[in-house]
Copies of this chain bind each other. A is one copy, B any other.
Amino acid sequence: MERTVFFISDGTAITAEVLGHAVLSQFPVDFNQYTIPFVENTLKAQEVCQQIDGVYEKTGQRPIVFYSIVSPDIRAIIEKSHGYCQNIVHTLVTPLEQELGVAPIPAAHRIHGLTASNLTKYDARIAAIDYALAHDDGISLRNLEDAQVILLGVSRCGKTPTSLYLAMQFGIRAANYPFTSDDMDNLLLPPALKPFHSKLFGLTISPERLSAIRQERRENSRYASLRQCRIEVTEVEALYRKHNIRFLNSTNYSVEEISTKLLDILGMTRRMY
């Protein structure tokens, strides 16, 4: 039987979701998950409490409640419910208080919020998204000196989502450049990219996965054929090796993994947002 889980927060609930997801993934149990963000007043908290109790009455099992709420009044209402309530951030804050020898200040904790102190960083992150869009798919080879990474690869190997994730999560300016089927007869590194060797990062992918992805886009085309995918992958990998371009096979990796591996391989410092 499914167990019901609530992720509850006075903010976006993103932290509660990310951590809760990590915790629940350790158990061989099916979970029925609900996220309730912006529980910012006692009225909303009472509604949520009733919702939790409703599940308890219906299923006879205490719902699991992962919550992160600053106001003691609002917290008290959630804790009065019949849920199994875990104050996720608090659980780690308490032991740290002793280690740091400093009391926590549980004020307006907008982890994913916009505040005067992080506005500059936030604007830089939005600028990185603009940069990724302006330099997506080789649209523009201008201002490449402003790029922190230049991704290379064949069509549909993951360049665009990776560029956007690097911008969104880490504020990193990534350009990307595609090699097309027309390039394959005599594959060369474009002269415009040569001055930026230290920023170049290649993606590759298994021909089988590439063909499956391309089939979704243009069914039964030459573009999506396994033969064509094999040719393109072989050629770009040879190019990467010839020019000593660091590269990664993205076949079994998510955009989060590709991005963090890239930063690790290029030795780039991760900034947090």
Q: Which residues on A are within 8 Å of B, measured CB to CB?
A: 3, 11-15, 17-19, 21-23, 25-29, 33, 35, 37-38, 62, 64, 66, 68, 84, 86, 88-89, 91-93, 95-97, 99-100, 102, 104-106, 109-114, 122-123, 126-127, 129, 133, 136, 160-161, 164-165, 168-169, 213, 216, 252-257, 260-261, 264, 270, 272
Contacts and interface: CB of A to CB of B under 8 A. Distances in A.
Contacts of A68: 22
B19 A19 contact: yes
B160 A257 contact: no
Contacts of A12: 256-257, 260
B14 A18 contact: yes
B256 A29 contact: no
A27 B105 contact: yes
A92 B19 contact: yes
Contacts of A88: 19, 92
B257 A102 contact: no
Nearest to A164: B164
A109 B257 contact: no
Contacts of A260: 12-14, 37-38
A38 B261 contact: yes
A161 B124 CA distance: 12
Contacts of A161: 126, 129, 168
Contacts of A133: 133, 136, 160
